[in-house]
Chain A
Amino acid sequence: MSLALIAALPFLGALTPALTQRFGRSIATLTVALFTAAALALILNHLPAIIVGDTVTTQINWLPALGLNANFRLDGLALLFALLILGIGLLIQAYACFYLDKTEPYARFLTYLMLFQGAMLGIVLSDNILLLLVFWELTSLSSFLLIGFWSHLPQARQGARMALATTGAGGLAMIAGLMILGHIVGSYDLSTILTQKTAIQTSPLYLPALILILLGAFTKSAQFPFHFWLPHAMAAPTPVSAYLHSATMVKAGLFLLARLWPVLSGTPEWFWIVTSAGLITMAFAAKVALFKDDLKAILAYSTVSHLGLITFLLGLGTKAAATAAIFHILCHATFKAALFMLAGIVDHATHTRDIRALGGLRRAMPITFGLATIATLSMAGIPPLNGFLSKEMMLEEAAHTAPWVIPVLATLAALLSVAYSLRFLTYTFLGPIPAYSHSPHDPTPGLWLPPAILAALVVAIGAAPMPLAGWLVDAATSATTGEPIHAHIALWHGLETPALWMSLAAIGGALVTLGLYPALRRVWDATPKPQAKVIFDASLTALTHTAHTFTAKLHNGSLSRAFAAAVLTILTLGLYAYQSAESLPGSRALAAIAATPAVGFALMITAALAATALHRKRLLALLLVGIVGLILSASFAYLSAPDLALTQITVEVVTVALMLLALNFLPKITPHETPRLRKLRDASLAIGTGIATAALAYALMMREAIFPPISAFHLAQSLPGAGGHNAVNTIIVDFRGYDTYGEIIVLGIAALLIFALTESLLGTKWATRPDQSAGDAGDPHPIMLQTATRLILPMAMLVGCYLFLRGHNQPGGGFVAGLVFAIGFVLQYIASGQDWAAARRRIPYHAMIGAGVLVASFTGVGSFLAGRPFLTSNYTHIHLPPLQDFELATAALFDLGVFLCVLGAVMLALDALARLAKPQTAKDAC
């Protein structure tokens, strides 16, 4: 539990600044520092156990199904990193408190910083690689926020995005790599994985896993060629650079290499990939650092170089090299964090970071100069500082590694390291004083104390490595290698160590290099260099552009193309599904073709084709489609489907009215605008699908169902079970009344939608006014029409009642009845106008819909009273002398709901559309 608490503490701390910021920066800083310190204290609490080689673990089951568990472990390696993260974290918090300007959103900064701290701590404490991934990605995210902290600066935004893209990409590769690792082992728990060296290294998936994991580690630790993001991350405030980009986050990759060292290292693949990446990075970045003029850029490339050094050491795969690597992690964190802080101080004091504009600060800023000297010389690997010790160990390892190019490159890197360090120091602090805009001076202790503490460590560790750092290096290295290690760190190993001579050569070479610097600089400046940022930007821009173009071209807003794609897909896959299986030939006896239906179908087909061919003349096309509807209705009557005929006839009338209402506004002609090729494409798709549909229909009609259809039950139960002769109607109101329930709601919603949209249209200024020039005849309401419709309305209602009442036994029903009523009322609208008809409406159409839904619902709910499910029907025969007995069925009540809903919906929709035709009048609420 305590480890989980430790991991959680920084996150809890991240919550506090929002609450404490009102009390001022100091309080806010102290509060978060308290959390960091508490975590540190809890870590130190475990120190004695760790030093003797124990491992502290905590297990919390989080997602056992996946193997993602909140398992934490604290061993020597974790301890080393935890101390760096929390210790330097405390210093950074103090430094930042004084560093950031008063106008900056400091609370947010602290929150981000603590989020990062938590993520980083999480990485090193994770005992589950999936959990580690969680924290790993969190560091990418929180560093994105920190780099982009000065969000008003374009380079900050860009640097943040670059870091996120690069480390994010690596992180995703690492997810794959670590998951493969987990799959090889069968567990995602580090404790298990670390014991499975043989299984992992003999697995065919070892190499892919290795490469993917290394991608993650190298991007995070800015190894060549993924180093480019780090210098751009320097757009972050200096405390961030000091913390993330020197001491902690960039070391996460190294941590991972170290963490997995026992199971991944020792193979040729590991050796070659890791050492070459490290060595190249070390030498290459050192060279670049030599030619940079920005203080932070020099430090950034130096960081890259030192990370390369450590990577190189880890790649060697020997315990001694691992020891050196661990030790250098510690040393580098101390001097580099200090240097970043000092660079920040110089920046603050002089308002520049360009070393060509700096100089002579040793007098103006003696404290800074002193601290910088210590840290820089350590960076250069000058004895007796700690940097020297670890560099010696590195050179010693390099010297014993074949081929020769390795020690040579290592020495060269050391040489360059000395050179840029000296250049950094001398250009900034020595030489003449240039004209500063205002006189620079040492900062308040708040700013210089944190680097001073680190500098003290640099000196102390250099002076007494074994008592001060030996135990820590031992513990960490033991944890890394999985075997007890007792390092021997000393200033002097005797004259026969190659490292000594390599160091001397490096220092000497560096002095020569610095002497030749102007010449070298001219060569450098004249050499064309691939600018990583330019390449990155260009490729990202190209990728963005490609993605954008692709998306815009694909989703170009063309509905026709969307349709075409859909139709093609449906057709192709349908045909494929058919082609790829067998089918028995149909054997049903077919019905004979009578002449009259043949004429009818011919008429329908002709009308459909004509409507398609003549679709540009919209009114004509509508008329032709009307013919199709007419023949279809008649066909239903002919094909023993009288209910369908009734429905189709009435729906047709209302649809035509609706379309004409709309066509009143719309253009009457469709322009010629599609190219011939498009028409050809459309025609082929349409014809192909038509043929396929016809074939499918024919195939279905040719054969009986494989199983007896369930409708046999409906036919058998229609009368005894549902109390109606009309099996279609009993299905609609009873067997499948629930479908009908949904269907009337669809209709109701349609009406509400039309009403709502009309309302919103009435409230807006239209781009287009209806073109009324076409129909300018007088006499909007012919008297004969008015008079006749007065008779037709009651007659229609009578017919409606007739169809409603007999629906259960004969064709008809609530739906048709509702439509017939609606048609009667629509006629009033047509004959006498919207004003006239709407003024005579007694019941609001809305209410009819609502009432319809409620009547249908409560009819259904009524069966609850009998403990029966929704919509359970009941019917009874009433004997009331002298009347003949008649049937009362709950289905009729349900049908009444249908009736009301249909009537209300049709009328509401038409009324709304009619109101649209005269937007000048005030809205009349329904």
Chain B
Amino acid sequence: MEILIAIAIGTLTACGLYLMLRARTFPVILGLSLLSYAVNLFIFISGRIKLNAPPIIGEGSQYTDPLPQALVLTAIVISFGMTAVLVIMALGAYLTAGHDRVDTDADPEDQA
């Protein structure tokens, strides 16, 4: 199982990074989403894996580490907020600039 999860984390990271390296805002946003999936899984496994052991006291005899789960929850919420912000900013950039390239001019005032 661990190998599978590691591969999943690696793939999500790689895909996310590749998309983040694209030149348009939308792929960058998608890339960040994939990357945040990867990191959420990564934080999650930092407490290691226990199957069928949810950290609900009294539901079983052993529990997975609840702390990383709490951290992932925070991370999910924050990355949700951040994604939303990036989306609206990408939208604003597109609407005002007329294109959705992420690259800006080196020194706009030099050209002027």
Binding site for B on A (CB under 8 A): 548, 551-553, 555-560, 563-564, 567, 588, 590-594, 597-598, 601, 604-605, 608-609, 611-612, 615, 618, 621-622, 625, 628-629, 632, 635-636, 638-644, 647-648, 651, 654-655, 658-659, 662-663, 665-667, 670-671, 673-674, 682-683, 685-687, 689-691, 693-695, 697-698, 700-702, 704, 709-711, 714-715, 718-719, 724-728, 731-732, 735-736, 739-740, 743-744, 746-747, 749-751, 753-754, 757-758, 760-761, 764, 766-768, 809-811, 815, 902, 905, 909, 912-913, 916
Q: List 12 A-B contacts (CB under 8 A).
A: A552-B110, A640-B51, A651-B77, A673-B23, A682-B17, A689-B14, A698-B2, A731-B69, A758-B88, A766-B96, A768-B98, A811-B54
Max chain A Cβ within 10 angstroms of own Cβ: one of B37, B47, B55, B100: B55
- CB neighbours of A704 from chain B (8 A): 48
**What distance in Å separates the Cβ of A917 from its nearest Cβ neighbour in chain B?**
10
Could you mark each residue 74-112 of chain B with 1 if its beta carbon is under 8 Å from any beta carbon of chain A, else 0? Answer: 101110111111011111101111111011111100100
Would you call A725 and B56 a contact (CB within 8 A)? yes
Would you call A685 and B17 a contact (CB within 8 A)? yes
Would you call B27 and A670 a contact (CB within 8 A)? yes
Further pairs besides A556-B106, A750-B81: 9, Cβ < 8 Å: A605-B8, A608-B12, A618-B27, A647-B73, A666-B26, A694-B6, A704-B48, A754-B85, A767-B97
Max chain A Cβ within 10 angstroms of own Cβ: one of B13, B66, B71, B94: B66
Once A732-B70, A750-B84, A809-B56 are accepted as A-B contacts, the answer to whether A608 and B15 lie under 8 Å apart by CB is yes
- CB neighbours of A591 from chain B (8 A): 1-2, 49-51
- CB neighbours of A751 from chain B (8 A): 84
Indicate which residue in B48, B77, B85, B98 contacts A701 across the interface (CB closer than 8 Å).
B48
Would you call A644 and B87 a contact (CB within 8 A)? no
Indicate which residue in A594, A651, A709, A760 contacts B76 across the interface (CB closer than 8 Å).
A651
Cα distance, A593 to B4, chains bound together (Å): 8
Cα distance, A539 to B96, chains bound together (Å): 41
**What distance in Å separates the Cβ of A620 from its nearest Cβ neighbour in chain B?**
11
Of residues 21 to 75 in B, which have CB atoms within 8 Å of A's CB atoms?
21-30, 33-34, 37-38, 40-42, 44-59, 63-74
Would you call B46 and A909 a contact (CB within 8 A)? no
Once A666-B91, A689-B14, A767-B98 are accepted as A-B contacts, the answer to whether A702 and B51 lie under 8 Å apart by CB is no
**What distance in Å separates the Cβ of A430 from its nearest Cβ neighbour in chain B?**
55
**What distance in Å separates the Cβ of B60 from its nearest Cβ neighbour in chain A?**
9
**What distance in Å separates the Cβ of B110 from its nearest Cβ neighbour in chain A?**
7
Indicate which residue in B22, B81, B96 contacts A761 across the interface (CB closer than 8 Å).
B96
Cα distance, A749 to B34, chains bound together (Å): 23
Indicate which residue in B9, B69, B92, B110 contacts A757 across the interface (CB closer than 8 Å).
B92
Indicate which residue in A686, A695, A764 contacts B21 across the interface (CB closer than 8 Å).
A686
Once A731-B67, A758-B88 are accepted as A-B contacts, the answer to whether A615 and B22 lie under 8 Å apart by CB is yes
Would you call A727 and B55 a contact (CB within 8 A)? yes
Max chain A Cβ within 10 angstroms of own Cβ: one of B12, B15, B90, B98: B15
Would you call A690 and B14 a contact (CB within 8 A)? yes
**What distance in Å separates the Cβ of A740 from its nearest Cβ neighbour in chain B?**
7
Report the nearest B residue to A682, measured CB to CB.
B21
Indicate which residue in A553, A615, A693, A697 contacts B27 across the interface (CB closer than 8 Å).
A615
Would you call B77 and A642 a contact (CB within 8 A)? no
Indicate which residue in A711, A757, A767 contacts B65 across the interface (CB closer than 8 Å).
A711
- CB neighbours of A658 from chain B (8 A): 83-84, 87
Report the nearest B residue to A674, measured CB to CB.
B23
- CB neighbours of B41 from chain A (8 A): 632, 635, 697
Would you call B91 and A731 a contact (CB within 8 A)? no
Report the nearest B residue to A632, measured CB to CB.
B37
Would you call A697 and B45 a contact (CB within 8 A)? yes
- CB neighbours of A563 from chain B (8 A): 17, 20-21
- CB neighbours of A671 from chain B (8 A): 24
* A-B complex: 10 closest residue pairs judged by Cβ atoms: A694-B10, A690-B14, A767-B98, A750-B81, A557-B104, A727-B66, A591-B1, A711-B67, A731-B70, A686-B18
Would you call B57 and A693 a contact (CB within 8 A)? no
Cα distance, A615 to B20, chains bound together (Å): 11
Would you call B8 and A604 a contact (CB within 8 A)? yes
Indicate which residue in A612, A643, A654, A725 contacts B19 across the interface (CB closer than 8 Å).
A612
Cα distance, A710 to B76, chains bound together (Å): 22
**What distance in Å separates the Cβ of A625 from its nearest Cβ neighbour in chain B?**
6
Would you call A628 and B12 a contact (CB within 8 A)? yes
Would you call A725 and B33 a contact (CB within 8 A)? no
Indicate which residue in A594, A608, A670, A753 contacts B85 across the interface (CB closer than 8 Å).
A753
Once A591-B2, A666-B25 are accepted as A-B contacts, the answer to whether A743 and B89 lie under 8 Å apart by CB is no
- CB neighbours of A905 from chain B (8 A): 81
Once A612-B15, A743-B74, A750-B81 are accepted as A-B contacts, the answer to whether A641 and B102 lie under 8 Å apart by CB is no
- CB neighbours of A567 from chain B (8 A): 17, 21
Once A718-B57, A767-B96 are accepted as A-B contacts, the answer to whether A739 and B33 lie under 8 Å apart by CB is no
Cα distance, A909 to B89, chains bound together (Å): 12
- CB neighbours of A711 from chain B (8 A): 47, 65-68
Once A641-B64, A673-B23, A767-B97 are accepted as A-B contacts, the answer to whether A695 and B6 lie under 8 Å apart by CB is yes
Indicate which residue in A618, A695, A728 contacts B70 across the interface (CB closer than 8 Å).
A728
Once A655-B80, A746-B77 are accepted as A-B contacts, the answer to whether A683 and B18 lie under 8 Å apart by CB is yes
Indicate which residue in A592, A638, A663, A754 contacts B88 across the interface (CB closer than 8 Å).
A754
Would you call B103 and A690 a contact (CB within 8 A)? no
Max chain A Cβ within 10 angstroms of own Cβ: one of B6, B44, B72, B82: B6
Would you call B81 and A727 a contact (CB within 8 A)? no
Max chain B Cβ within 10 angstroms of own Cβ: one of A622, A639, A766: A639
Would you call A732 and B73 a contact (CB within 8 A)? yes
Report the nearest A residue to B110, measured CB to CB.
A552
Cα distance, A548 to B109, chains bound together (Å): 13
Would you call B66 and A750 a contact (CB within 8 A)? no
Once A682-B18, A683-B18 are accepted as A-B contacts, the answer to whether A665 and B94 lie under 8 Å apart by CB is yes
Cα distance, A513 to B102, chains bound together (Å): 71
- CB neighbours of B27 from chain A (8 A): 615, 618, 621, 670
Max chain B Cβ within 10 angstroms of own Cβ: one of A632, A662, A740: A662
Would you call B106 and A625 a contact (CB within 8 A)? no
**What distance in Å separates the Cβ of A268 from its nearest Cβ neighbour in chain B?**
51
- CB neighbours of B50 from chain A (8 A): 591, 640
- CB neighbours of B12 from chain A (8 A): 604, 608, 628, 690
